[in-house]
Structure 1
Amino acid sequence: MTVPPTTPAEYWDRYKPHRGEGDQPAPAVEHFCWTPYPGHGPGAEVLGTPRTALELGPGDGVELVYLARHHGVRGTGVDFSAVQAERAGRWWHEEPGVSFEHAEVCAFLSGRQTSYDAVYSMWGAVWFTDPERLVPLVFERLKPGGIFAFSHAAPGDDAYGPQPMGGRWLEDRGDLVVTRWQYPPQVWADLLRRHGFVNLDAQVVAAPEPAGRATLLIRGERPA
């Protein structure tokens, strides 16, 4: 029986657990997807032609490995979950130019001087981190002309700003709250503009079927 998490980090440690026998195999690296539907919607072209990239909340690390294999990108993934970071590092330790680290993303960004051509996140850490803290840190770690792009579920009409997540382990738990920040496209664009980003694009990518969940995709550039 799985022990319920008591902290947000432990919650993410239990995300997408292996339910099969033996060691969990590495996932296939077939697509670079901003949406939860493989092969649907925009791909790696959103990031331009970076030589270096940082992924915030990479989970299984598939997109970072895709960039390395298909575009020659040297990339780092930083994840709040020790379990996710260790697993991705174990799966992909032989991939040239790919590495994974365990850290809270704001602490990682503020504690390093490395700069990147692209910083991105798919339904990951950007969704779950206060943007007033995160966005200026991302801006500082981007090279001139660098791209910041992220996606998360398109918010419903009743969702605005920081919202507590529901679901397993989170219902009726005053001691454990996992927060996600939800804004419509124009609010995200305005927030990035206020922190110095230009050439902003904010769009909603419809799901491939009517009952599916749409994806919010935001992109901005640090001035060259």
Structure 2
Amino acid sequence: MSDTRSAAWDDYSKSKPQRRTTNAKGETTWFNWTQYADHGPGAEVLALQPGDTVLDLGCGSGGNAAHLATLGMTAVGVDLSPKQLAKAHERWPEVHGMELHQGDALAYLGETFTVFDAIYSVFGAAWFTDPGLLLPIVHANLKPGGVFAFSQRPPVEGCYGCQASYIPRGADEDPAVVKRWDYPSETWASMLKEYGFEDVTAELTDAPAVGGRRIGTLLVRGVRCAV
């Protein structure tokens, strides 16, 4: 199963260009939760300090992790796609404090001995992993008071639970199929509380007012209870 999903995300990587050299502010690294450039909140969502250790589940080509590393954090990224990780190494060769691992998010969380100050996922593994499996192991790998946050597209009304995502693979091939999990905001909030998170928020960030796209970004955040 992992090999099939890995190949699917390798195919996906072909359609994604490298992150820009600079953003609209002229910054060479930055954090982006949404699918829109120069839009939405930044790394402050994670409430990190220099020296903290943070995990990116489904880090892709590493742009968010690279930004956190430049801020003085130890940024660990895990991704199924070797091609995405190759793009990360190519794009960020001189960034210190960033560790990248190829593999499944659940498997990595089950094997690591690191307890993180924050764990996050931006349109990544938190969207494509059964929350009944992911949330308890994320909780177990977070320090008390640590933040777990993830972003994804909001669900289509009435289309909740495990859904199919189709990833194009080429003109002569059927698309790859991967599973994703969609829920309304109140359901995500309830699930995080059930698995031991507090101060939970699940909010929609609207799309930018310019342009024709109107699908916003669902950003879910919780804090591991201190006890």
Give 2:140's aligned residue. 140
**TM-align CA RMSD:** 2.3
What's the CA shift for 1:187? 0.4
Give 1:14's aligned residue. 11
User: In 2 relative to 1, CA 82–208 (structure 1 residues): closer, same or farther, beyond 3 Å?
Assistant: same
User: Across the two proteins, how many residue pairs are aligned to each other?
Assistant: 212
Give 1:40's aligned residue. 39
Give 1:121's aligned residue. 121
Tell me how far apart the structure 1 counterparts of residues 41 and 167 of structure 2 sit (CA, whole Å). Answer: 28
Tell me how far apart the structure 1 counterparts of residues 174 and 190 of structure 2 sit (CA, whole Å). Answer: 32
What's the CA shift for 1:107? 0.4
Structure 1 residue runs of 4 or more that deviate by more than 6 Å after TM superposition: none
Tell me how far apart the structure 2 counterparts of residues 217 and 31 of structure 1 sit (CA, whole Å). Answer: 17
Give 2:59's aligned residue. 58
**1:92·1:98 contact (CA, 8 Å) conserved in 2?**
no
Pairwise mapping of residues 67-82 of structure 1 onto structure 2 (< 5 A)? 67-69=68-70, 71-82=71-82
Q: What secondary structure sits across from 2:133 in the alignment?
A: helix
What's the CA shift for 1:30? 3.9
Give 2:127's aligned amino acid: W
Give 2:33's aligned amino acid: W
Tell me how far apart the structure 2 counterparts of residues 76 and 44 of structure 1 sit (CA, whole Å). Answer: 15
**2:207·2:215 contact (CA, 8 Å) conserved in 1?**
yes
Q: What secondary structure sits across from 1:188 in the alignment?
A: helix
What's the CA shift for 1:55? 0.1
What's the CA shift for 1:91? 3.2
Q: Structure 1 unaligned segments of length 5 or more: list them.
A: 1-5
Deviations 1:123-155 (A, max 9, x none): 111100111111111101111110000000011
Give 1:148's aligned amino acid: F
Q: What secondary structure sits across from 1:126 in the alignment?
A: coil
Tell me how far apart the structure 1 counterparts of residues 36 and 175 of structure 2 sit (CA, whole Å). Answer: 33
Give 1:222's aligned residue. 224
Q: What secondary structure sits across from 1:113 in the alignment?
A: coil
What's the CA shift for 1:176? 5.1
Give 1:85's aligned residue. 85
User: In 2 relative to 1, CA 25–180 (structure 1 residues): closer, same or farther, beyond 3 Å?
Assistant: closer
Give 1:3's aligned residue. none
Q: Give me the TM-score of the superposition, normalised by structure 1.
A: 0.87
Tell me how far apart the structure 2 counterparts of residues 81 and 7 of structure 1 sit (CA, whole Å). Answer: 10
Give 2:177's aligned residue. 177
Tell me how far apart the structure 2 counterparts of residues 88 and 27 of structure 1 sit (CA, whole Å). Answer: 13
Tell me how far apart the structure 1 counterparts of residues 123 and 18 of structure 2 sit (CA, whole Å). Answer: 22
What's the CA shift for 1:83? 1.7
Give 2:69's aligned amino acid: A
Give 2:38's aligned amino acid: G
Tell me how far apart the structure 1 counterparts of residues 175 and 96 of structure 2 sit (CA, whole Å). Answer: 41
What's the CA shift for 1:47? 0.3
Q: What secondary structure sits across from 1:199 in the alignment?
A: strand
User: In 2 relative to 1, CA 45–177 (structure 1 residues): closer, same or farther, beyond 3 Å?
Assistant: same
Tell me how far apart the structure 2 counterparts of residues 17 and 86 of structure 1 sit (CA, whole Å). Answer: 12
What's the CA shift for 1:25? 6.5
Tell me how far apart the structure 2 counterparts of residues 81 and 130 of structure 1 sit (CA, whole Å). Answer: 19
Tell me how far apart the structure 2 counterparts of residues 72 and 176 of structure 1 sit (CA, whole Å). Answer: 38
Give 2:125's aligned amino acid: A
User: In 2 relative to 1, CA 25–34 (structure 1 residues): closer, same or farther, beyond 3 Å?
Assistant: closer
Tell me how far apart the structure 1 counterparts of residues 223 and 54 of structure 2 sit (CA, whole Å). Answer: 14
